[in-house]
Structure 1
Amino acid sequence: MAITDRYGLPVTTPSAVAAARFQDGMDRLLSYDAGAEESFAAAVRADERLAVAHAGIALVAVAQGDAATARAAAGRARHRVAGATRRERQHVEALSALIGGETARGLALVDEHVAEFPRDALLVNQAGSAIGFAGGRDREQQRAVFLERLAPAYGDDWWFQSALAFTYHEVDRFEESRRLSERSLEQYPRNANASHNLAHIYFETLDNDGGAAFLGDWLATYDPRASFHCHLAWHLAMFELHRGRYARAQEIFERDILNAANPRLAMIDGAALLWRFRLDGQPDAPLAWRSLADLAAKISRPGFVFGEVHAALAYAACGDDKALAGLIEGLRALDAKGHAIAGTVALPMVQGVAAFVAGDHAGALAQLEPVQGELHRVGGSHAQWELFEETMVACYLALERYDDATRLV
C-alpha cells in the first residue's frame, strides 16, 4: 500500500517510520512549533532518499535565515528526488526555485503545480510567504486570492484556516480572520500561526489589554525553542509598550527576543522594538544594539529586503557606518539587476533611517515621504512596516509640522 501524508499525497519511501517523522515535521513547521528540524532529520535517518524530508530541512533553515543550510538541503532534495512521484519532483523543483531566490519562476511553478495538487501544504505555505515578500504593490491581495482559490481543496483543515486567516487580517477582514483562527485553534491548540493572527487582530483593533492577556496566557505553554516564539514575544512586548509598560516590554526583549532560537527574527523583532523605544524617548541600549548588529551581519542578505531595512536600524543605531555602507551597496547592486523595490523603496527607507539617527529630520523625511505609500511592499505586516511611518511622525514633531504628524497618527 502506498504511503501518503495527511493531505492524501504520496510520500515515496518504504519506511513507515520515515513517513511518520516527515508528517510530524510537516505539522510542526506549519504550526510554527518546535522540533520540525529534528523530525525532518529523523525522517532522513530512517530513509536517506526521502527527498521531501530534505526539502523540509531546507524550509526550516529558510525561516532561520540560514541560507547556506537551506541551499545545501535543497540540493540534496534535488539529487534524491529522481525516483519519486511526479508530485514530489515538482514539489522539490518549485521549492528549490523559491529558496534559491528565483521567486518569479518558483511562483509560476507553484501555480502550475497547485492546479493539480492543491493540497501540497508545505509548498502552498512557502508560496504564500514568497508572495508576501515579492515586493508587489498589491501583495496582500495577491496572497489572499492565491489561498482563496485553494480553499475548496482543504475544507475544515486547521492549517489552511490559519493560513487563509493571515491573509484576511492583512486586508482588514478582521472578523473573518478571527473566526477562522479561533476554529483552527479549536482543532489544533498548538497552532502558533492561528495565535499570531489573533495577536494581529487585537493590535489592529487597538485592544492592547485583550492582546496582552491572550498572548500572555498562550505563550506560557509555547516552547521557547520554537522558531516563532520570538515573534509572538515581540507582539506581547508591543502590547505592553502601547500600554505604557516599558519596563515589562524591556523584560520581554531581554528574556525572549535578544537571545531567541531564531536569529533572523531576533534581529528583526529586536531592532523593531528597540527603535520604538528610541522614538518614544526611552533610554538607549547601545550594548543590545551592538548584539543585534552582530546578528544582522551573520544572517543579512540583500535579496531579503525586509531583513535589510531592519538590519539598517541596528547598524545606524550603534554607529556601524561600514556595515551600513555595505548594506546600501548591496541594495544598489540588487537595483542594478532589476529588483522591484531594492533601490526604489528599501534604499530610501535605509537612507531615511541613517538621516534620522544623525539628527537630520528634514533629510529623513526627504527620503521617507516619497515612498510612504510604498512602504508595505518590503513585506511583513502593517504592525511591522508602520515603524517607518512612526519614524516620520517623530521627524514631523521635531520639525513642529504638527498637522503632518496628526495625519499619520
Structure 2
Amino acid sequence: MAHDAQGNRATFASDAAAHAFDHMVEGFLKYRLDTPLRLKATLQLDPEAPLPHLMKAGFAMLAYKAAHVPAAKAALDHARGLGGNGREQMHLAALDAWAEGGQDRAISIWERIIAEHPRDILAFRFHHFAAFWMGKAPAMLSAVEGIMPHWEGDIPGYGSVLACRAFANEEAGNLIIAEHAGREAIRRDPADLWAAHAVAHVLEMQGRRAEGIAWITGLSPHFEGGNNLMHHIFWHQAMFHIERGEHAEVLRLYDTGFRNLESPVTQMQPDLYIDCQNAASMLFRLERQGVDVGTRWEELAEKAEARIGDCLSAFTLPHWMMALCATGRFAAAERMLQSMRDDAAANSGENPSILRDAALPCCEALLLRARGEPAAAVARMRPAIGEMHRLGGSHAQQDVLEQLFLDCAMAAGLTSDAEMLLERVTGRWPTPPERRIGYAAAASALRRAG
C-alpha cells in the first residue's frame, strides 16, 4: 500500500498516483488556483482511489454554495463504492456529515482522525476550516497545539501547520505566539497565503497599520498563482488604509485587488462567499465614513438576489443583506428573510439554530436600519450580540456587525447599548476604540456626554 507525503497509509494503485495526490494536497494547503487541475490529474492516474473522490466532495463543500452540495454527495457516493482503509472511511464519514448539515459531527470525526493520525494534514486542515466558520476558535487552537509535537520541520506540510497555528492563536488572543508562527511559515515559504493572512490579522488587532501595509505589499510579488485568498489579503491591506483615512487607496484596492471583476480568479467564482463578504463589508465601512462608493453595490445586490434561499454560509447572509438594503431592494430583502426562516424551520443540523439566533437578527437589523428604525434594529439585534461568533468569521470580519449595532444604538440615543458594545470590543482588541476609525466618533461622543 502507498503512503502520502506525511507517512499515512493510503489506497493508491501506484506511487505515481500517490505523488500526484500529494501535489494536489500541497496546492490545497497553499491556496493555489490550479489545485482543481492537480486533482483532475490524480484522478486520471488512479480513478479508483477513494481519497481523490473524497477531495472532490470536499472542494464542492468548501465553496459554501447550496448548488454544489449535490455534486459533493455524488462524489461521496462514488467514493463509498471504492473501499479504502479505516482512516479513509473516517474521512468519508466526516464529509458525509458535512454534506448533510452536521458540521459539529464532521468536526468531531476530524478530531478523532487527528487524534489517531496526527500527521493527517487533510483532516487537520478541514477541521481548521470548519471550526473557523462555525465560530469555534478554541477547537481550532486545541487541534493545532495537539498535533504540533508530532510534526517536524522536514515533514511536507509543516509550514501550513505553522500557518494554522498562527491564525488559531491570533483568534484566541495569543498574539505573540501567532506572529512568531506566521513569520516562521513565511520564512519557509513567502508564498504561503494563509501565513501571510494570519500575520496581517495580528498587525490589525494591534493597530500596526504601517507595518501591515508594508507586510502585504512586500509579500504580494509571491502571490501569483494563488486563489481567492489573495483577494482577502488585499482586503486586509484596504483595512489598514481605511484606518488611516486613505479612502482613495481603499477604492483602488477594491477595484484592482479584492473585487476586480475582470480578474480571471473572480470570473471563475464571481459569487464566492469570501469575496462577496470582503466587498460588502468594505463598502459598508466606507459609507459609514461618508465615502461615495458609486455603483459598486449593484453587482453585489444582483448576486445577493440570485442567492436568496441559499443559507449554507450563515456569515455571508448579513453581507448579502447589506447589498440589498444599500440598493433599496427591500422586497428582495423581505424574501431573503423569509427564506432564512423557512430554512431554519425545515432543516436539521447546526445551521438552523445559527440562522435563528444570529443570522436572522443581524439581517433584520440591517433592514430596520435601512428603513430608519434604529431603535427597533437594536432591540432585534441585542439578544444576538453574544451569539454572533457562531456565524463564523474572524474578529476583523465580525467587526462590521458590531459597528452596525453601535451605529443603530447611537442613532437611537440608546447610550447604554452603545457603551456595552464599546466595552465588548475593548475587551477583545488591544487597540482602544479611540484609535479605531469605526469606533472613534462614538467613543468620543460618549466620553463627552459622560
Q: Same fold (TM over 0.5)?
A: yes
**Structure 2 CA distance for aligned equivalents of residues 78 and 402 of structure 1:** 55
Cα separation, partners in 2 of 1:66 and 1:344, compared to 1, 3 Å: closer
Give the Cα separation in 2 of the matches to 1:320 and 1:341. 25
Q: Which residue does 1:295 correspond to in 2? A: 303
C-alpha contact (below 8 Å) 1:178/1:198 kept by paired residues: yes
Q: 1:296 is aligned with what amino acid?
A: A
Q: Quick one: distance in 1 between partners of 2:139 and 2:207?
A: 26
Any conservation in 2 of the 1:34–1:223 contact (CA below 8 Å)? no
Separation (CA, whole Å) in 1 of partners of 2:305 and 2:16? 39
Amino acid at match of 2:55: G
> Which stretch shifts more, 368-377 or 35-44?
368-377
* Aligned match for 2:384, one of 353, 364, 371: 371
Q: 1:174, 1:394 → 2: CA distance?
A: 29
Distance 1:223 1:395, change over 3 A: same
Whole-Å separation in 1 of the counterparts to 2:225 and 2:404: 31
Residue 9 of structure 2 aligns to a residue whose secondary structure is coil
Matched with 1:328 is 337
2:398 to 385, 391, 400: 385
For 1:10 and 1:189, the matched residues in 2 are separated by 30
Matched, 1:19 2:18: yes
Between the aligned partners of 1:309 and 1:114, the Cα distance in structure 2 is 34
Contact 1:192-1:228 at 8 Å conserved across structures: yes
Aligned to 2:86: 86
* Distance apart, 1:120 and its partner CA: 1.6
Choose 106-115 or 44-53, whichever is displaced more: 106-115
Corresponding residue for residue 228 of structure 2: 227
Q: 1:55, 1:74 within 8 Å by CA — same for their partners in 2?
A: no
Structure 2 partner of 1:127: 127
Summarize the Cα distance change of 1:234–1:16 in structure 2 as closer, same or farther, 3 Å threshold.
same
How many Å apart are 1:50 and its aligned residue?
A: 2.4
Which runs of structure 2 are paired with 1:91-130 in the superposition (5 Å)?
91-130=91-130
Q: Which runs of 5+ in 1 are unaligned?
A: none
2:147 to 139, 146, 150: 150
Q: Is the 8 A contact 2:4 2:10 kept in 1?
A: yes
* Mapping of residues 289-368 of structure 1, within 5 Å: 289-298=297-306, 301-336=310-345, 337=347, 339-368=352-381
When residues 238 and 151 of structure 1 are mapped into structure 2, their CA distance, relative to the original with a 3 A threshold, is same
**Structure 2 CA distance for partners of 1:353 and 1:126, relative to 1, 3 Å:** same
Q: 2:246 — aligned with what? A: 245
Deviation at 1:290, TM superposition (A): 1.9
Q: Structure 1 residue 316: deviation in Å?
A: 1.6
Question: Within 5 Å, which residues of 2 pair with 1:56-75?
Answer: 56-69=55-68, 71-75=70-74
Match of 2:198 in 1: 197
Q: Which amino acid aligns with 1:146?
A: A
SS of corresponding position for 2:207: coil
Partner SS for 1:149: helix
Tell me the SS of whatever aligns to 2:256. helix
Over 3 Å counting, the alpha-carbon distance change for 1:310 and 1:214 in structure 2 is same
Per the TM alignment, residue 305 of structure 1 is displaced from its structure 2 partner at its CA by 0.7
The alpha-carbon deviation at position 183 of structure 1 amounts to: 1.4
- Check whether the contact 2:31–2:226 (CA below 8 A) recurs between aligned residues: no
Distance change >3 Å, CA 267–CA 253, structure 1 → 2: same
Aligned to 2:172: 171
Alpha-carbon offset, residue 199 of structure 1: 0.6
- In the superposition, relative to structure 1, how do residues 15 and 319 fare at CA in structure 2: closer, same or farther (>3 Å)? farther
One-letter amino acid matched to 1:158: G
5+ long unaligned stretches in structure 2? 423-438, 440-450
Residue 323 of structure 1 deviates from its aligned partner by: 3.0
Report deviation, 1:197. Answer: 0.4
CA deviation map 1:380-408 (0-9, x unaligned): 00101111111223234434556754662
Q: What is the identity, as a one-letter code, of the residue corresponding to 2:319?
A: H
Q: Give me the whole-angstrom Cα distance separating, in 1, the residues matched to 2:202 and 2:45.
A: 42
- Is the Cα contact below 8 Å between 2:50 and 2:83 reproduced in 1? no
Distance change (3 Å), C-alpha of 1:225 and 1:132: closer
Aligned residues of 2:162 and 2:182 also touching (Cα < 8 A): yes
**1:344-394 per-position Cα deviation (integer Å, ceiling 9, x unaligned):** 221110011111222222222222233223222211001011111112232
C-alpha distance in structure 1 between counterparts of 2:318 and 2:339, whole Å: 12
Check whether the contact 1:253–1:270 (CA below 8 A) recurs between aligned residues.
yes
CA distance in structure 2 between the partners assigned to 1:66 and 1:304 by the alignment: 7
Deviation at residue 198 of structure 1 after TM alignment: 0.4
Q: Distance in 1 between matches of 2:62 and 2:297?
A: 22
1:179 & 1:334 partners in 2: Cα distance? 42
Q: What is the Cα deviation at residue 77 of structure 1?
A: 4.3
- Mark the CA change 1:128 to 1:384 in structure 2 (over 3 Å): closer, same or farther: same
TM-score scaled to structure 1, two decimals?
0.91
CA contact (8 A) 2:30 2:193 kept: yes
Instruction: State the one-letter code of the partner of 1:206.
Output: G
Give how far 1:231 is off: 0.9
Instruction: Determine if contact 1:352/1:367 at 8 Å carries over to the other structure.
Output: yes
Q: Given that residues 280 and 297 in structure 2 are in contact (C-alpha distance below 8 angstroms), is that contact kept between their aligned partners in structure 1?
A: yes
Deviation at 1:112, TM superposition (A): 2.9
Distance 1:185 1:33 in 2: 16
Query: What is the Cα-based RMSD across aligned positions, in Å?
Result: 2.3
Q: Is the 8 A contact 1:78 1:93 kept in 2?
A: no
Q: Is residue 2:283 matched to residue 1:274?
A: yes
CA distance in 2, matches of 1:48, 1:274: 45
Greater Cα offset, 373-382 or 143-152: 143-152
Cα shift readout 1:209-248 (whole Å, capped 9, x = no counterpart): 1111111222233126513111111111111111111111
Q: TM-score, normalised by structure 2?
A: 0.83
What code does the residue aligned with 1:266 have? D
Report whether the alignment pairs 1:48 with 2:57.
no
Give the % identical residues.
Answer: 24
Q: Do the aligned residues in 2 keep the contact of 1:33 with 1:190 (CA within 8 Å)?
A: no
Amino acid at match of 2:297: W
Q: Deviation digits for residues 303-332 of structure 1, max 9, x if unmatched?
A: 321111221111221222343223212322
